[in-house]
Amino acid sequence: MILKFLRHLNRAYGFLVFAIYLAAFGIAFLFIFIFPPATLALLFLSIMGLLVFKALGSVLLTVERRWNRARLAKGICPECGAAALSVVVADAGAMQCGVCEVRHDAQGAWIKPVVPEPRAVQA
Ligand SMILES: [Zn+2]
């Protein structure tokens, strides 16, 4: 449950931070007319916030990878929980689940699936 939430949070983290900054921009834009110093404060707060968000993102990713490594070491797929890690991909010790076909590298990081581009249809 927590791992699933952490996984979804990590995969959407960039969009989440972008949404927070977009909301901050909207608030700052409104404060230009109401209370201009708040806009300046929000600007500097958001610049410093980049460091905080970057550090938080690294921590969340590290926690998920450790959790994934522990499950992979037991032979359990971190994604679906099946004990079907039958396929070991040759590149850098990546493991692929036989049930959900999700791949993880040796450090426990999720490997984004490569989706082939659709072929052009000849009319
Ligand atoms: Zn799986």
Q: Measure 118 CA to ligand 1 centroid, in angstroms.
A: 26
Q: What integer pLDDT is reported at residue 106 of this predicted model?
A: 83
Ligand 1 centroid, distance to 5 Cα (angstroms) = 16
Tell me the one-letter amino acid at 84: A
Q: How far is the CA of 99 from the centre of ligand 1 (A)?
A: 5
98 CA distance to ligand 1 middle (Å): 6
> Do the beta carbons of residue 72 and residue 85 sit within 8 Å?
yes
Tell me, what's the pLDDT at 26? 95
On the 0-12 / 13-18 / 19+ scale of CB atoms within 10 A, 78 is buried
Q: Would you tell me how many other CB atoms lie within 10 Å of the CB of residue 26? A: 10
Looking at every residue in the chain, the average pLDDT score rounds to 88
Q: What is the pTM of this model?
A: 0.76
pLDDT at residue 35 greater than cutoff 70: yes
Give the end-to-end CA distance of the chain in Å, rounded to a whole number. Answer: 48
